[in-house]
Structure 1
Amino acid sequence: MPTRPRTRSARRTVPPALDPRRWWADAVTADRLLLAAKTAAAAALAWYLAPLVPFAQSEYSYYAPLGVLVSMYPTVARSASSGVQAVVGLALGIGLGLVSLAVVGTGLPRIVAVATVILVGVLLAGVRALGVGRDWVAVAGLFVLLLGGADPDGYSSSYLMTMAFGVLVGVVVNLVVVPPLRVERADDRLTRLRDDLGDALHRIADALAGHAFDPSAADEATAGLTGTLTDVREEVELADESRRYNPRGRRLQAPRDLGRRRLDALTGTADATRELAAALTRLTGGSDVDARLPDEARRVLAEAVRAVARLVTTPPEPEGTAAQLRESEAALTAYTRHLRRVDADDEPLDAWEAAVALRRVIAACGPFSDPDAATATR
């Protein structure tokens, strides 16, 4: 019985951004669950205490939970800065709304005032210094203009004070209740990236040790490094930010810039790994590969790549890095000696480019061999 051909829809895969499983995985992380719980608790607390806020009418207490929402971020520093920016944007918008109401009182049609508030609010939203507050200028101005009613001053002061109170509650709760610290997560991502780069170099060395270098194997080994680096860079930046104003961050032994130094080293390693794969693909692409890179030179180069791979996967501690650094230097020196024995007319430039790529990896890892630098990590 003939099998039914698969339809095009059956072969189609769901893009990662639209995969419900990815959504669920992103939504239920431990950090996100903690942030959601703290936000809910802070919003309830702000709602309960809002009637006690001075210069604000209790009927506008619903703005307090909104203030919590605009101030709750994964880090204390971002919560504080975003909260202040939101309040500043609100103040500008409220001022804009009050001015527009005054103009409406002189006889200007309200529809013209609405258009003017939106126009000016959107223009002010282009001021980058306002940060997240840019999004609130036009909104606040429109609310004051349309909802201020017969008591625009009372509504405006209640709106601003209640929102500011909610921001304050959100920042305090984020600071006091398990202040988020993303250093360990960033360290895990850096460690996985380090291991992935080492694995890529080992696979390149294995392919090189064979009689024919397989470009597809090298491409597969280096595929996805750019996207992974982008994700890890965001995680490292978030980890650095999470240590600011965080009492938990003061107890960490690792230096504040360690994650960034590791990221810089791994970024240089990833770039050099891609250059190495490209150079070897060009070097071994022709039929005269044995003449351009004899078996002995190929074997020594493969050993150099393996030594560098072991250097990359060595935790950035001075003693271990220094020992592996010497081994990598010796292996690379052995390879360059073989290249110098090749006749000058036949000496392939790509073979030297492979050596330069390995040298770049060694240079990127070199700073972690300094015994005076506090770089101990996993």
Structure 2
Amino acid sequence: MTTAPHPRLASLKAAARTAGGEAFAVSRLLLAGKTAIAAAIAWYLAPLVPFAHDEYSYYAPLGVLVSMYPTIADSAKAGLQAVGGLAIGIAIGLAGLWIVSGPSPRILGVAIVVAAGVAVGGIRALGTGRDWIAIAALFVLLLGANDAGGFSVSYLVTMAFGVVIGVAVNLAIAPPLYLRRASTRLSQLRDAVADRLEMLATSVADGAPADPTGQGYLQEILDAVSADVREAARSRKAHPLARRRRGIEAENGHRLQALENTVRQTIELAAGIDGLPLTPDAVPLRAELAEAVRATARAVSLPLGDPTTPTAVEDAERALARVVDAAPGHSDGRISPWTRTAVDLSRIIDASRPFA
């Protein structure tokens, strides 16, 4: 007799598999390789950077690290923000050096520049540069005391050089474009919704409550796919093939909007199913509703451009019409749970229609 694994152990194993998949994904390994190449180039060329001392060449690879993001647009944006944050931090550090140049103890300067850097880092408009303000201020205060001007210029210029190298390498070597990956993720979300609808159809037919964990799972995968689609849209910016792939981005946007509506209504449908009557006279209507949900699941599951989609949508509409015709109403004018469920199903069907 085998025993089931402990829930916490199973959760840790699942988390480890997820982490491994994220760390060793092809896109992540490609980014790691490009970052390594860019860091090596920046380190090698750093001594040639004007206005910077050779001993501070190690800041060039650091500039690469702060600018390497999965998309070119994010790389450029993060790099500029980091350089801006460094400039502000350097100014604060120089002010701290001026303070401790008098009778004030060095410990007071450390406290002042850290406090000022953290406070200014609260400005959201600075983006990722916020994180570098206090660090740069502290470095200037502690490392640049003997040559404040030389260290500050070398620090800023060398980091900026690393940013330029990072963005250039990201653009030159297999520039990322995630539109196809986003399309695949949208298809995975579509399949998950269709599977959920099939499960709800079984719950309706059997008179069993809908599994509540399905709602949370759908919302989680929707959030993840939405983030992937947004990242794919950002990857088009400054990409050399952006013009050719404009149609894919628009298509992904339409699909995401339709699937957002579908997920929302599927969650509402599950809640409505739990409120349906369980009396013997409700069994025939439950069977009709289960068939309508299954027909809707078939319409949802069809891939983009499938020629049978219009027919599947019509089949789902006819199955839903039979439910609406047979559903009893309330004598007091209130909407019955059957009607409420039919409305949710109707909206899912509408979201499944082909779009131009």
Give the TM-score of the pair, scaled to structure 2: 0.92
Residue in structure 1 matched with residue 200 of structure 2 by the alignment: 204
Residue in structure 1 matched with residue 233 of structure 2 by the alignment: 240
Residue in structure 2 matched with residue 278 of structure 1 by the alignment: 271
Question: In the TM superposition, what is the alpha-carbon distance from 1:19 to its structure 2 partner?
Answer: 4.0
Amino acid at match of 1:51: P
Q: What pairs with 1:1-378 in structure 2 (closer than 5 Å)? A: 12-16=8-12, 19-209=15-205, 212-216=206-210, 218-219=211-212, 222=215, 224-252=217-245, 254-284=247-277, 286=278, 289-291=279-281, 293-295=282-284, 297-317=285-305, 320-339=308-327, 344=331, 349-366=336-353, 369-370=354-355, 373=356
Question: In the TM superposition, what is the alpha-carbon distance from 1:231 to its structure 2 partner?
Answer: 1.3
Question: In the TM superposition, what is the alpha-carbon distance from 1:67 to its structure 2 partner?
Answer: 0.2
Whether the 8 Å contact between 1:204 and 1:221 is mirrored in structure 2 is no
Q: Does the residue aligned with 1:316 lie in a helix, a strand or coil?
A: coil
Whether the 8 Å contact between 2:269 and 2:341 is mirrored in structure 1 is yes
Question: In the TM superposition, what is the alpha-carbon distance from 1:280 to its structure 2 partner?
Answer: 1.8
Whether the 8 Å contact between 1:98 and 1:145 is mirrored in structure 2 is yes
Structure 2: distance between partners of 1:272 and 1:198: 12
Question: In the TM superposition, what is the alpha-carbon distance from 1:16 to its structure 2 partner?
Answer: 4.4
Cα–Cα, structure 1 residues 166 and 252, in superposed 2: closer, same or farther, change >3 Å?
Answer: same
Structure 2: distance between partners of 1:21 and 1:335: 44
Q: Does the residue aligned with 1:123 lie in a helix, a strand or coil?
A: helix
Whether the 8 Å contact between 1:240 and 1:257 is mirrored in structure 2 is no
Amino acid at match of 1:245: A
Q: Does the residue aligned with 1:266 lie in a helix, a strand or coil?
A: helix
Residue in structure 2 matched with residue 376 of structure 1 by the alignment: none
Q: Does the residue aligned with 1:215 lie in a helix, a strand or coil?
A: coil
Question: In the TM superposition, what is the alpha-carbon distance from 1:257 to its structure 2 partner?
Answer: 3.1
Question: In the TM superposition, what is the alpha-carbon distance from 1:349 to its structure 2 partner?
Answer: 1.2
Question: In the TM superposition, what is the alpha-carbon distance from 1:298 to its structure 2 partner?
Answer: 2.5
Whether the 8 Å contact between 2:97 and 2:145 is mirrored in structure 1 is no
Question: In the TM superposition, what is the alpha-carbon distance from 1:75 to its structure 2 partner?
Answer: 0.7
Whether the 8 Å contact between 2:43 and 2:57 is mirrored in structure 1 is yes
When the two chains are superposed, the root-mean-square deviation of aligned CA atoms in Å is: 2.6
Cα–Cα, structure 1 residues 10 and 18, in superposed 2: closer, same or farther, change >3 Å?
Answer: closer
Amino acid at match of 1:360: R
Whether the 8 Å contact between 1:117 and 1:138 is mirrored in structure 2 is yes
Structure 1: distance between partners of 2:87 and 2:254: 40
Cα distance per residue 1:50-91 (max 9 Å; x no partner): 111111111110100000000001111100000000000000
Amino acid at match of 1:357: D
Structure 2: distance between partners of 1:135 and 1:18: 32
Question: In the TM superposition, what is the alpha-carbon distance from 1:138 to its structure 2 partner?
Answer: 0.5
Structure 1: distance between partners of 2:261 and 2:68: 35
Question: In the TM superposition, what is the alpha-carbon distance from 1:262 to its structure 2 partner?
Answer: 1.5
Whether the 8 Å contact between 2:65 and 2:166 is mirrored in structure 1 is yes
Cα–Cα, structure 1 residues 207 and 18, in superposed 2: closer, same or farther, change >3 Å?
Answer: closer
Structure 2: distance between partners of 1:346 and 1:86: 62
Q: Does the residue aligned with 2:327 lie in a helix, a strand or coil?
A: helix
Whether the 8 Å contact between 1:114 and 1:145 is mirrored in structure 2 is yes
Give the TM-score of the pair, scaled to structure 1: 0.87
Amino acid at match of 1:273: T
Question: In the TM superposition, what is the alpha-carbon distance from 1:31 to its structure 2 partner?
Answer: 0.6
Of 16-25 and 91-100, more deviation after overlay is shown by 16-25
Structure 1: distance between partners of 2:294 and 2:5: 43
Aligned length: 356
Of 141-150 and 342-351, more deviation after overlay is shown by 342-351
Question: In the TM superposition, what is the alpha-carbon distance from 1:362 to its structure 2 partner?
Answer: 2.0
Cα–Cα, structure 1 residues 264 and 133, in superposed 2: closer, same or farther, change >3 Å?
Answer: same
Structure 1: distance between partners of 2:94 and 2:6: 58
Structure 2: distance between partners of 1:100 and 1:47: 30
Structure 2: distance between partners of 1:23 and 1:275: 32
Of 342-351 and 271-280, more deviation after overlay is shown by 342-351
Of 316-325 and 147-156, more deviation after overlay is shown by 316-325
Structure 1: distance between partners of 2:190 and 2:256: 9
Cα distance per residue 1:88-139 (max 9 Å; x no partner): 0000001111111122223322211111100110001100111110010010
Amino acid at match of 2:338: A
Structure 2: distance between partners of 1:204 and 1:41: 51
Q: Does the residue aligned with 2:9 lie in a helix, a strand or coil?
A: coil
Of 273-282 and 245-254, more deviation after overlay is shown by 245-254
Cα distance per residue 1:242-296 (max 9 Å; x no partner): 1111113333263423223222221221221122222222214x4xx233x351x
